[in-house]
Each structure stands twice: as structure tokens, then as C-alpha cells.
């Protein structure tokens, strides 16, 4: 039996109060102190996420100077005041990992006392540990939720996981405030990503068993992900096209991805099925099905065939009427429930900025029957 869940029936969970958030933080920290996971995980989750990651630096260094008010405090307590996005327990891990320097020397222990005028350098690194971060009262557009999984419709502009330059205000922070259970799962149960400026459907696991099964399903290409995109220029030729072209780091710009020759550059195979829905002189509306999940895959493949996405300045697109991000939306998500095995299918209609763009360009959109790509 297939359960259809249109995203039009979404709801926004009530924002937690400040008192609720404080209680969640205490719960998370108490739970964390009972665990001894390393800062950087090397489990299968990393492999499942690596293809869809944002191209951010590996770490970020901050410098703090100890003020008069902090004189005599423990090092870890003083640092928390400078690193408001992180829990004290994560700061203690950074110290233990040798990533904190006090006056140019590796900090010996979290309990070390600091003096006014001391200089502290901290190297911040992405971590899969949910307990490293603090819950934040960010409303989630929940499409579906049960004891095992959560499906959301992510808005454009929301970063999925904390990373250098975006340590707070992310989906992970929102999940921690949504339910303390997410603090017990690596990366708060996030098993795949969408770019910051891509909107649409994502599934999140509520416990480790569900996460492991979803990660396995993602690795086996058993989770169907389908997108709508608005591209520059009129589409010419066959309305259906498969782009089967490897993707790797752009050798001329390490902050971009590109179609690469595997005999000359490192990269991975990538395949996208593209179907034309409508076209005018200035642009085309297309439906894309992913068979692989490489970083920026649809954006790179569309640019490689001469149709960069509207608004995608990274890959040759130009800003379009009323849209200041790439015109890309994850419209359909289908997978087997990780516990019950039931087939789940979810739909999310186009975001408002993309609807406006369609109207401005004169493109027509009629929802079409989705095509599974397991």
C-alpha cells in the first residue's frame, strides 16, 4: 500500500519558549556527558552524506581575549561565553582534542583558570554530534511525523547542518528544539542534505535504528528524490534527456563542482534524468530525477548542457525576477518506512518565489505523475 502525503497539508509546530529551550539544553548536556563519541565520526553516515555536502571550509579558527569579568574562571566556562552556538561539553571536547590554544600553547585541561588579557585560539570543526550544538526555536514545516521518522519541507535559505560560517540557525538546531530525542542521534537524524538555497522535502530519522536503515537505503539508491527546476534559455531537441557525466571538484575553482574527466581528475559517476515540462524563449521548466546524489548534481548537470538554473550565479545563472537563489525545489520524496516497510510518498508544491518566477517568464506548470527511480 502506498501512502500519499501532499505537503500542502503541512503544519508549523509551536515555537518553544525560552524556558523550554533552556530545559532542552540541560537535557542534551546531561545526555552528552554519558557518551564518549569522538568529535569527528568515521561511520557510514559520513559516507552517505559526503556526496550532498556544501562546499565549506574544513574548519574555522576564532580568537578570544579574556576580559576582566572572566578573570579566574575555568577555561571551558569562559569559552562558552565566546562560543554561544556550542554546548560546554563540546568545548571540553575541543580542548581534549588539542584544538584550543591558551596564549599560544595547547590548553592542558578544561578546568585551567584564565587571567585577564589571556588570548585563546579555538579551531572549530564540523561534527556529527548533535549534542555539540544548542536547540533554537526555528519553526519547521512538518509534512509527516511518527515515532521513527520526520519529513519536512525545507525553505530556501535554511542551512541543513552547522559548518564554518553557519554554526547556528540551521535545521539541526531546529530539530533539537523540536524534540529532545534528536539529541540522541548523530547529526540529529539528518541522513541527506539539500543546499542552503534549495527548497523542498527531506527525511530525518528519530532514532539510530531508523537512521541506519535510511542511510543504507540512501547508499543503495532506494530513496527516490525528484526535483523541479527553472533554467535559462529555451529547451531545444528531445524533451527527455539523461545526463550521465561524472562530477568532481572544479580544478579551476575548488569552491565549485564540475563535470570532469575521470581519467584526468578525481570525481564520481553521476546520472540525472531530465524531462521538459514547458519552455519559452527566455527559459525552461524541467523535472529532474536523481540516480546518484553528488554535490550540486542537478545544478552542475544543467549548466553542463547549456541551461544553468535561474538565480544560480555559482554555475552561470543570472538573478531572475523576484528570486535570489537557484530555482530548484525538491518536489517529491519516496522511500520504504525504515521500521514498518510501508511505502511512503510525499509531495511538496513549488515554493512561492518559484511560482512567481514561472508567472514572470510565462511558463506553465501542471503537476505530472511522478516517476520512481529506485
336 in Cβ contact with 188 (< 8 Å): no
Task: Please say if 244 is a catalytic residue.
Answer: no
List the catalytic residue out of 76, 195, 250, 312: 195
Return the C-alpha torsion angle 33, 35, 40, 42, nearest 10. -170
Q: How far apart (Å, rounded) are the C-alpha atoms in residues 251 and 46?
A: 24
Q: What angle do CA 257, 40, 78 make, to 5 degrees?
A: 110
Question: Which positions ≥6 away from 371 have C-beta within 8 Å?
Answer: 226, 273, 289
Q: In the chain, where does DSSP find H-type helix?
A: 18-33, 44-50, 75-82, 88-96, 171-178, 208-219, 297-304, 352-361
Tell me the CB-side half-sphere exposure of residue 188, using CA atoms within 13 A.
Answer: 23
Give the DSSP H or E segment for 164.
none
Start-to-end C-alpha separation, the chain: 17
> If DSSP codes are grouped into helix, strand and coil, which group holds residue 14?
coil
Q: How far apart (Å, rounded) are the C-alpha atoms in residues 103 and 314?
A: 40
3-state helix, strand, coil in the chain (%, to 5): 25, 30, 45
Q: How far apart (Å, rounded) are the C-alpha atoms in residues 155 and 328?
A: 11
Catalytic positions, written as ranges: 195
Amino acid at each position: 500500500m502506498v501512502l500519499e502525503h501532499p505537503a500542502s497539508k503541512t503544519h508549523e509546530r509551536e515555537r518553544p519558549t525560552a524556558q523550554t529551550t533552556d530545559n532542552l539544553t540541560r537535557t542534551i548536556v546531561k545526555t552528552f556527558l554519558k557518551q564518549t563519541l569522538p568529535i569527528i565520526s568515521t561511520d557510514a553516515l559520513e559516507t552517505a552524506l559526503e556526496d550532498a555536502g556544501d562546499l565549506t571550509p574544513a574548519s574555522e579558527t576564532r580568537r578570544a581575549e579574556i576580559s576582566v569579568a572572566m578573570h579566574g574562571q575555568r577555561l571551558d566556562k569562559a569559552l562558552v561565553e565566546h562560543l554561544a552556538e556550542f554546548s560546554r561539553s563540546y568545548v571540553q571536547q575541543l580542548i581534549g582534542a588539542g584544538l584550543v590554544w591558551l596564549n599560544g600553547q595547547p590548553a592542558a585541561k578544561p578546568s585551567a583558570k584564565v587571567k585577564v588579557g589571556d588570548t585563546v585560539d579555538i579551531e572549530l570543526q564540523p561534527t556529527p554530534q548533535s549534542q555539540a550544538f544548542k536547540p533554537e526555536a526555528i519553526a519547521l514545516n512538518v509534512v509527516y511525523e511518527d515515532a521513527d521518522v520526520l519529513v519536512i519541507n525545507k525553505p530556501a535559505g535554511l542551512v541543513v547542518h552547522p559548518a564554518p560560517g553557519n554554526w547556528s540557525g540551521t535545521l539541526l538546531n531546529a530539530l533539537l528544539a523540536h524534540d529532545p530525542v534528536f539529541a540522541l542521534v548523530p547529526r540529529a537524524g539528518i541522513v541527506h542534505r539539500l543546499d542552503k538555497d534549495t527548497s523542498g522535502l527531506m527525511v530525518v530519522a528519530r532514532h539510530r535504528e531508523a537512521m541506519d536503515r535510511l542511510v543504507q537505503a540512501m547508499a543503495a539508491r532506494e530513496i527516490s528524490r525528484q526535483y523541479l527546476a527553472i533554467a535559462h534559455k529555451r529547451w531545444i531537441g528531445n524533451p527527455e534527456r539523461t545526463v550521465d557525466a561524472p562530477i568532481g571538484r572544479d580544478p579551476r575553482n575548488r569552491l565549485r563542482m564540475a563535470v570532469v574527466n575521470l581519467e584526468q581528475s578525481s570525481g564520481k559517476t553521476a546520472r540525472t534524468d531530465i524531462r521538459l515540462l514547458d519552455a519559452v524563449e527566455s527559459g525552461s521548466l524541467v523535472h529532474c530525477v536523481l540516480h546518484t546524489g553528488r554535490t550540486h548534481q542537478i545544478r552542475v548537470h544543467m549548466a553542463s548542457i547549456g541551461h544553468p538554473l535561474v538565480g544560480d550565479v555559482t554555475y552561470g545563472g543570472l538573478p531572475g525576477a523576484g528570486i535570489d537563489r537557484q530555482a530548484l525545489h525538491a518536489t517529491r520524496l519516496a522511500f520504504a518506512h525504515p521500521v514498518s516497510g510501508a511505502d511512503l510518498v510525499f509531495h511538496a508544491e513549488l515554493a512561492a518565489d518559484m511560482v512567481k518566477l514561472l508567472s514572470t517568464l510565462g511558463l506553465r506548470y501542471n503537476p505530472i505523475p511522478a516517476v520512481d527511480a529506485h
